[in-house]
Structure 1
Amino acid sequence: MGKIIFITGGVRSGKSAFAEHYAKTLFGRHQKGLFYIASGVPFDEEMKKRIRRHQNDRERSQLPWVTMEVADDLPQATFGADDIVLWDCITTWLNNVLYKTEQSENRYVKIQQSIERFQQTVGRWKQDGAIVLLVSNEVLDEASSIYEEVNLYRELIGKLHQWIVAICDEAYELDYGINVRRK
């Protein structure tokens, strides 16, 4: 049986660096596959810079990262015993799902189907023995919004985070580069 590690925190809290360091430590022990699932979409200059910074960090690590770009679908890859999978980040993935379904008929059904596929996929990876690090943003500390879409997003990510924490083996919250283990 594999393991799921949940890592959350605010913007620029150090969660990605923590997750990459954790994956590096695990890789040193297991030395099997090392996979990075990236959900960022370069839609503006700031996002392009963030994506490039993450790519540079992985290149500098001199580890054999296999990067998969996953905007809103799920990776078709199968991960097994001792594979290390770092997915950065779940909030971006969910945002991309919302954007993709924005003009769709049966939008809420399609969103729910995407979330259920995510849950099944992550559960299968764990069952197959992979060590999965899921990085996500903490967005629930903000006040409710006047915008329906923002509140929908907060509701969905809140429920998804609760599901992840319920099934994960470890959960960390980062603030200012300091991690606190919650589970």
Structure 2
Amino acid sequence: MDPELTMMEADEAMTKAVEHAIHEFATVRTGKASPTLVENMDVHVMSYGSHMKMKQLAMITTPDARLIRIEPFDSSTLQDIDRAIRESRLGLNGSIEGKVIRLPIPALSQERREQMVKMCKSLGEDARVRVRSARRDALEALKKGEKDGHITEDDLHRMEKEIQTMTDKKIAEIDQHVVSKEKEILTV
């Protein structure tokens, strides 16, 4: 049992939790068009018989602040992409115009903005739980290492403090992202 490896694994797991939260925040609607709203959406493509990410199937652009334009690389996937958008939790309906899907982004009502803020806070809490879980796993591994005689009691206490500092830093980072996303959503 290598205590330094345990510390590195804990840091990596916490960093991944923060990155995942940032990625999830990008998929939350803010009232303005952004390709990140749809680019990681799973699309079941009938002709391929598998699930693929939207960004693998189409070129996604935002010609203006209220419109997302989706142009499939293969026009046979147009209906599959349209179905995926309609079935998503975004609540958007696109219109097919030739070989392109135009996805207008309506302005959010105050009630819908508040729902989006709640969703962001929930996503932030999920990320905090992941960070705390990584902390718990690291502490358990270190305590086992101390019990087995691989590290001293003093080293255990020092590493516990380091892990707690790391945890606090990552949770503060998540909180900062939640606040900035909340501000972005509430800005009319």
TM-score by structure 1 length?
0.26
Which structure's relative contact order is higher, taking Cα pairs within 8 Å and 6+ residues apart?
A: 1
Structure of higher CA gyration radius? 2
Q: Which has the higher strand share?
A: 1
Judging by fraction of residues, say which structure has more helix. 2
